Amino acid sequence: MVFEVRWSEQWREDIVKNVFPKLGLNQVVDPLRQECFYKKDVAYYKLHGFGKRMYDYRFSDDELKDVCGIVKDEKLPTYILFNNFYSYEDAKRLKAIVSNI
């Protein structure tokens, strides 16, 4: 099971590391916005975008490369979900970037 944490000031590292193992949860974060403190058996990231209308956001190649840099050394099965209007296009571009690394 996963639980998305969006507010790092409320879901501080000490709280996540204390609560999530007890509940058997994996933490889900947007890796471009905050650090993931706890992963039980999967690494799961959810990309939202930026700006006032973050759901109407197209990620730049540099942002997608940043995501690759963050997740490249994961030792767990890794999932990345795009949560915006351009999800399909952004995911295809991320896949192309990963295949060229």
What are the tens digits of pLDDT across the range 33-52?
989 999 999 999 999 988 88
Q: What is the pTM of this model?
A: 0.87
State the amino acid at position 31 in one-letter form.
P
Q: Kind and range of the H or E element at 29? A: strand 26-29
User: Whole-number mean pLDDT of the chain?
Assistant: 91
CA-to-CA distance for 47 and 82, rounded, in angstroms?
5
Q: Write down the pLDDT at residue 51.
A: 83
Percent of the chain with pLDDT over 70: 99
- The CATH number covering residue 18 comes to 3.20.20.410
Say how many domains are in the chain: 1
* Domain extent for 23: 2-99
Q: Write down the pLDDT at residue 93.
A: 95
